[in-house]
């Protein structure tokens, strides 16, 4: 069964409250939010793979990083006045809202001007609810 971008965003948004609970119950909210958005990469309409979103997110959020520069990132973030966040795929855009809420600085969320396969565009970003946490820019 092929899933489209709209369905992918809709399905991702249904998990938003649960994902926020994971963040709020974690020892480091920003780190968990980043892990969640990394896990969101499994939501890709061009990948023809069956997955269990919650099971896969839970597994991915517990995995270590091959390279872990989080402490350096967090230190640099503490002095950031603005953040540029580059949108990826449309389904993952709903997951991007979670780390944006934890970053602590104004965010410009950059999207494609025209739809390219599964890349998030302006309409997708609006449908994902990103308008309430970031300024959405076209590239």
DSSP secondary structure string, 49-105? ----HHHHHHHHHHSPPSS--HHHHHHHHTT-S-EEEE--BHHHHHHHHHHHHHS-S
Identify the band that residue 43 occupies on the pLDDT scale cut at 50, 70 and 90: low
- The residue segments making up the domain with residue 132 are 5-138
List the structure tokens of 4.
Answer: 């489209």
Identify the band that residue 44 occupies on the pLDDT scale cut at 50, 70 and 90: low
pTM for the whole structure: 0.85
Kindly tell me if the per-residue pLDDT of 46 is higher than 50: no
Give the pLDDT of residue 72.
96
Distance CA 46, CA 26 (A): 32
> For residue 55, what are the contacts with CB-CB under 8 A and spacing of at least 6?
none
Give the pLDDT of residue 51.
61
Give the pLDDT of residue 1.
43
Identify the band that residue 11 occupies on the pLDDT scale cut at 50, 70 and 90: confident
CATH number reported for the structural domain that contains residue 87 in this entry:
3.40.50
Please check whether residue 85 is in contact with residue 109, taking contact to mean a CB–CB distance below 8 angstroms: yes
The domain tally of the chain equals 1
Tell the residue number behind the tokens 């909210």, with chain if given: 29
């Amino acid at each position: 069964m092929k899933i489209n971008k709209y369905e992918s965003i809709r399905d991702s948004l249904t998990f938003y409250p649960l994902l926020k609970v994971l963040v709020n119950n974690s020892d480091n909210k920003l780190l968990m939010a980043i892990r969640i958005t990394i896990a969101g990469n499994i939501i890709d309409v061009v990948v023809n793979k069956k997955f269990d979103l919650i099971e896969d997110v839970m597994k991915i959020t517990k995995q270590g990083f091959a390279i872990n520069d989080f402490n350096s990132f967090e230190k640099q973030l503490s002095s950031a006045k603005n953040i540029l966040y580059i949108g990826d795929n449309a389904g993952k855009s709903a997951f991007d809202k979670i780390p944006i809420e934890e970053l602590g600085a104004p965010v410009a969320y950059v999207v494609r001007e025209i739809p390219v396969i599964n890349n998030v565009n302006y309409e997708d970003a609006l449908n994902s609810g990103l308008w309430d946490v970031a300024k959405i820019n076209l590239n």
